[in-house]
Amino acid sequence: MAQFSVNAQRFDPYKNFKFLVLWDGKVVAGVSKISPMKRTTEVVKHRSGGDSSSVRKSAGRTEFDAIVLEMPGGASFVPAPVTGRLPGTSREIALGTQTLRQLHAPVGATIRISFPLFNTPPRPMTVVGTTVTPDIDVSILAGAGYDFLLFDTQHSAWEIKQLRPSIQAMHGKQAAPLVRVAANQAYQICFALDAGARGIVVPMVNTREEAQATVRACRYFPVGNRSNAGVRGEWGEFQNYRDYMDAVNNELVIVPMIETNQSLENLDAIASVSGVDVLLVGPSDLSIELGVPLDYQCDLYQRALDKIVAAAAKRGIAAGMYFIPPGMDPNFFVQKGFKFFTMPWGPWAKAGIQNGLSGIKR
């Protein structure tokens, strides 16, 4: 069965787009806006007057169940067959499209065409990040392949307002900046968003009401009460300010942490809050609450994880682990249903350096 996907390859006439929408391996459009951790309908835009629409970056590769082609008035989109070369190879491939015909939007009108994927759910994407601090060059890690970099202000010496230079250093990189605030307080969330965070992680969310408060603090009016401080963060280019606010409201990743027995009792209520994207396990705190401190492999703990995965799946959102417990295989959690977690960058960096040095005669 055909599936849409996003690929970072470039082929004319879509050369000005960073990402292309493919249908069974054929280019059908250039992507200007995508939200890799959302399962809502995605938006693509056309080429207009020889210039491409603004290009947004993706956290790696994503798949989704539908695309929407939006055309402003007076513009045309003509998908054309093209040929190209696979990067790093000599293999020539022919690309074209039979799924779109020539379209024209009359002046003053907008054509909005949806291409559903047989009403099937999207294939889940495993999103992997790492935790970082402002005292390292985060621009290197942001371009190393991680989907996100997580700045922790709960269990670290760093304050939220110290994060802005590091987040700005990530501009144009693959990884998205996420911030864990120290508490579910609107002013802390506001500080993180003003610093440019594209995702907010909130610890100790125990009830539906607390999850709703988190979402309200993250979103602009009319779906939230976030105070406005101008355009903050890397969200793309917009024709008017309302479009910017709507993009933030729709694309910001909101992540409540599940760390207590009370949150386990209220899983469905928390997961059902509109705007929540991930139920994120705080592994150590949850084990302590369950009476099995740091015993991550015991049946009681594993049953709790299964309950969290089921609650997330029921509501069409992701289940995540703040970290993978030491000595455990990340793929064990992927197979269990977790699609969001961090991995420490230090061991991988050390292994890469050692591998590079091993090839030099010294």
Rounded to a whole number of angstroms, the CA Rg of the chain reads 22
User: What's the DSSP call for residue 234?
Assistant: -
Spatial strand order of the sheet with 4-7 comes to 4-7, 19-23, 26-31
Q: Are 233 and 312 in contact (CB under 8 A)?
A: no
Distance CA 221, CA 289 (A): 36
- The end-to-end CA distance of the chain, in Å, is 53
Q: Are 262 and 204 in contact (CB under 8 A)?
A: no
- Cα–Cα distances (Å) from 172 to 180, 197, 268, in that order, read 21, 14, 36
Task: Give the 3-state secondary structure of residue 29.
Answer: strand
Q: Are 99 and 115 in contact (CB under 8 A)?
A: yes
The neighbour count for residue 152, using CB atoms within 10 Å, is 19
Catalytic: which of 46, 104, 155, 171?
Answer: 155
155 given a catalytic annotation:
yes
Distance CA 4, CA 122 (A): 9
Catalytic residue list: 155
